[in-house]
Amino acid sequence: MTKEKRSFFEKLTGARDVDTMGTGTSMPIYTEEEETSMQNMAVSHDAPAQEWSTTEVAQNDAEGQLTIDVYQTDNDIVIKSTIAGVKPEDLDVAINNDMVTIKGERKQEETVEGENYYYQECYWGSFSRSVVLPVDVVVDKAEASLKNGILTIRLPKAQTNKTKKIQVRGF
């Protein structure tokens, strides 16, 4: 019995190609759990809009998670995130030891019944994101600004690798 080499896709998903009709063409076979997962991920243009309401989110205590970019310059660690529709006073940026936490809430200005939506992809409600910092920063000199819906946080790097010489005293 020869052993067939599995494709990368088969190894990744656990699917197997099986020739069910003897036609020489094969089709992947998935477990029931994989089938359900793929069906849940499938998007149909005829499907009704997914209903997200701030009351449902509040009841489930679920929070949205921000997408962020984190990069470094010579002197700073920079965190950027798109936060459209949020006022600066509705944002809370906290720096604690080696972590930055951004919290806020995007408030929906009008109430629309779920059946009236064609698409509802925007997230409304509270959100947060915590980021572990890759280097030490000077917390007292950190700055945050919101311009055109982009939150930018600049965290100056601490100069931890400077060598300081000290005088040795004899007694």
Q: What predicted TM-score, i.e. pTM, was given to this entire model?
A: 0.57
- Domain map (residue ranges) of the chain: 8-41, 54-156
**CA 75 vs CA 71, 80, 136, 159: distances in Å:** 11, 16, 11, 9
Q: Could you tell me which residue, 83 or 14, shows the higher pLDDT?
A: 83
The CATH number of 54-156, from 3.90.1580.10, 2.60.40.790, 2.40.50.140, 3.40.228.10, is: 2.60.40.790
113: pLDDT confidence band, cut at 50, 70 and 90? confident
Neighbouring-strand partners of residue 101: 94, 130
Span of 15-19, 87-91, 136-140 with lowest mean pLDDT: 15-19
Can you give the pLDDT at residue 112?
Answer: 85
Are 124 and 107 within 8 A, CB to CB? Answer: yes
Averaged pLDDT score across all residues of the chain? 75
**CA 76 vs CA 55, 94, 135: distances in Å:** 39, 17, 10
44: pLDDT confidence band, cut at 50, 70 and 90? very low
145: pLDDT confidence band, cut at 50, 70 and 90? very high
What sign results for the dihedral spanned by CA atoms 53, 56, 58, 62? negative
Can you give the pLDDT at residue 131?
Answer: 92
Which strands sit side by side in the sheet containing 64-65, from one edge to the other?
Answer: 64-65, 125-132, 99-106, 91-96
The pLDDT tens digits for 51-74 are 444 444 344 457 788 889 999 999
Can you give the pLDDT at residue 52?
Answer: 42
